[in-house]
Amino acid sequence: MLGMLINERELKEMEYLIKREMDEILFDLKDERIDHIVKRAMGERYKILFSLFKRIAPENECIKYMPAPQLKEL
């Protein structure tokens, strides 16, 4: 287990970066040109990012980014 001390500004920056990355993955998952294997890897990455996000973000923000059921199927 690791711990780190960050200030409020750094927390907001981390939250912003993780949200943007998750938004990008969600957008790419809708692209039919992307292979299923790649989408599965993207889904795994999304799950990891979400687990980080829920540690730093308020609950109402986490609800917006909860993995959808179709993401669990990948």
pLDDT of residue 72: 60
- Reported pTM: 0.85
Residues in the chain with pLDDT values less than 70: 70-74
C-alpha–C-alpha distance, residues 12 and 3, integer Å: 17
pLDDT of residue 44: 96
pLDDT of residue 73: 60
Quote the domain boundaries for residue 14: 7-69
Q: What are phi and psi of 44, to 5 degrees?
A: -65, -40
Is 46 a member of any domain? yes
pLDDT of residue 67: 86
Sign of the CA dihedral with 21 first, then 24, 26, and 28 last: negative
Is 1 a member of any domain? no
Domain count, the chain: 1
C-alpha–C-alpha distance, residues 74 and 61, integer Å: 24
H-helix or E-strand spanning residue 40: helix 36-56
pLDDT of residue 74: 56
